[in-house]
Chains A and B, each alone.
Chain A
């Protein structure tokens, strides 16, 4: 069902694009694929002839770098934070760590990511006297932001794993952290994989704010094409299409991973 929905969405967007293209063409010359001043031609001139596609590719690379590394950092950080938050809290250290983690999660969930980017790049970095490329700052901020969200997702995932799994691990002599790492978290990840996929998708889409700190992404690249050609419809539609393709690809990937991980649930005997 979901696959049909995805295909349907892509189809609608393509139709919208085509309509736009045809009407643009029509308005100019009345002939499809003819005429020198059509919106498509203006777009193509900048996009192909003047090397606009190189910018787009560079932007796409940055978008993916930020989303992929952001999610990777987010998963590691989020898992650690979640593990701290579900830790038994008899001793002082876990309680202190827990306090720190809840402040961290509260801040990153409580403020928009644009604010975090601006604070990181224009306030924190100069205050520390550091000078990193904006791209690195973006990756760091998206990682930290994603970590806060993933920690909540992961906490739910850990809670969904039967307590008996942890107990069986501990009863065999594994430490709390080893049982967490090898027994509970793999099962938690399996349970939350669709939600993690969604997190990745929203991360990809949220990267469109990185231009606030001057990072080149898909939006900046297409916006430049639009500015150069005095025509924004085709570039923005193309941008939307790229986002849709990215999201569809991620969705398919998550689906594939889910299916592979579901092996242990299937009721077939192994031969």
Chain B
């Protein structure tokens, strides 16, 4: 699904990720644990080049995302990302938050297809191998209607369809984060990345968000989740990574990692958090 190869990330002189290699298969649920400042977020953000790697490669569907030539925006459509601070668009309603990207991107695609068709229409008579016309049948109305239908389906699944027209500032933290997850899901991603999705929440709201992620896990979604919820990692993850000083210090199934930690720093870390 995604493969990181010899990834190094420096901020100035500070080496945050140090020659990290990692391969994640389809259907895996990887929990990333580690101390604060160890590079967990940076690792996650490098997977979609939200931070540009200093060196190394990230392969997703056979393409190296670290390569400048590759259109990172196309890859990001298929990789959902959920942030600690939710980052809902505060000037948009819940419904608009979910439909904004699908609608904008499909409209942009439509426009690009029309442009290409126009060019092909002009040049095709001169060509031996005529290029096919791209489909441009859908109207803006249809695109919007379909995006809204998808959004309402998702909102119904999390029981928040009555909040469709509410603005984010009127929602609780737990509701915001669930909307943020649903917003990512509306793009039909193949991989979901979560960066401490419950760390900014009041304790009583952690449950509802973890519950949604668990349901997502049960549906077979491939995911990487940075978390401090050790119990959740143990129950839901198929594999746990311990990140320390910019390296993956331990990489094992949860039972093994939590019950028989090998790395002394991991043993120390677990003693502190468990």
Chain A contact residues, CB within 8 Å of chain B: 162, 164-165, 167-175, 178, 182-183, 186-187, 190, 263-270
Contact = CB atoms under 8 A, between A and B. Distances in A.
Contacts of A165: 87, 89-90
B170 interface: yes
B76 A171 contact: yes
Contacts of A265: 167, 169
Interface residues of B, number: 34
Interface stretch (B21-29, B100-108, B204-212, B225-233): B100-108
A167 B89 CA distance: 11
Contacts of A175: 73
Nearest to A178: B104
26 contacts: A164-B83, A165-B87, A165-B90, A167-B83, A168-B81, A168-B89, A171-B80, A171-B83, A172-B100, A172-B187, A173-B73, A173-B77, A173-B105, A174-B104, A178-B108, A190-B91, A263-B167, A264-B90, A264-B93, A265-B169, A266-B169, A266-B170, A267-B169, A269-B170, A270-B165, A270-B167
Contacts of A183: 89, 91, 100
B50 A167 contact: yes
Contact of A171 (B48, B88, B91, B93): B48
Interface string B168-190: 11100000000010011001000
A35 B20 CA distance: 96
Contacts of A263: 167
Contact of A168 (B48, B79, B88, B166): B88
B83 A268 contact: no
B238 interface: no
A162 B169 CA distance: 14
Contact of B101 (A169, A190, A264): A169
What 3 pairs across the A-B complex have the smallest Cβ distances? A173-B77, A172-B101, A168-B87
